[in-house]
């Protein structure tokens, strides 16, 4: 599990929750950290905000698509944005789900378990 978010509290909250549910968790904030993490390990899932420092969702998806080893990693977006166009753009980019930040963890768990099985 790779969590991308600028907010340390969000990274800690989701990281703790996923750790309690048996996932190995890595966190990153920007492009350089994501590149380093993906060279080192292959997460089962990426949980990200729409933009994390110098990395947009579209840049992240493009980076994943360039490498056969990362192409199949599912991406879930967690965001405070309620803008319908933004959500549709994220879905069109190839994310599997767009959930509100501080999502219902039961709903998040259903998505995560389905994607990681």
Q: Would you say residue 111 lies in a domain?
A: no
> Which structural domain range is residue 56 located in?
2-105
The domain total for the chain is 1
Q: Among candidates 98, 96, 101, 54, which has minimal Cα distance to 74?
A: 96
Question: For residue 55, which of 109, 15, 2 has the smallest C-alpha distance?
Answer: 2
Q: How far is CA 101 from the centre of its chain?
A: 12
pLDDT in tens, 56-82: 888 888 888 888 888 899 999 888 877
CATH number at residue 35: 3.40.50.2300
What is the pTM (predicted TM-score) of this model? 0.86
pLDDT digits (tens, 9 = 90+) for 15-33: 998 898 888 999 988 888 8
Find out whether 46 and 4 touch, Cβ atoms under 8 Å: yes
């Amino acid at each position: 599990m790779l969590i991308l978010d600028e907010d340390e509290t969000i990274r800690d909250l989701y990281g703790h929750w996923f750790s309690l549910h048996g996932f190995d968790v890595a966190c990153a904030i920007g492009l350089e950290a994501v590149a380093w993490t993906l060279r080192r390990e292959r997460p089962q899932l990426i949980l990200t905000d729409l933009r994390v420092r110098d990395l947009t969702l579209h840049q992240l998806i493009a980076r994943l698509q360039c490498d056969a080893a990362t192409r199949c990693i599912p991406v879930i977006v967690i965001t405070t944005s309620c803008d319908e166009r933004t959500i549709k753009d994220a879905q069109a980019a190839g994310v599997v789900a767009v959930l509100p930040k501080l999502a219902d963890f039961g709903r998040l768990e259903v998505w995560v378990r389905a994607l990681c099985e």
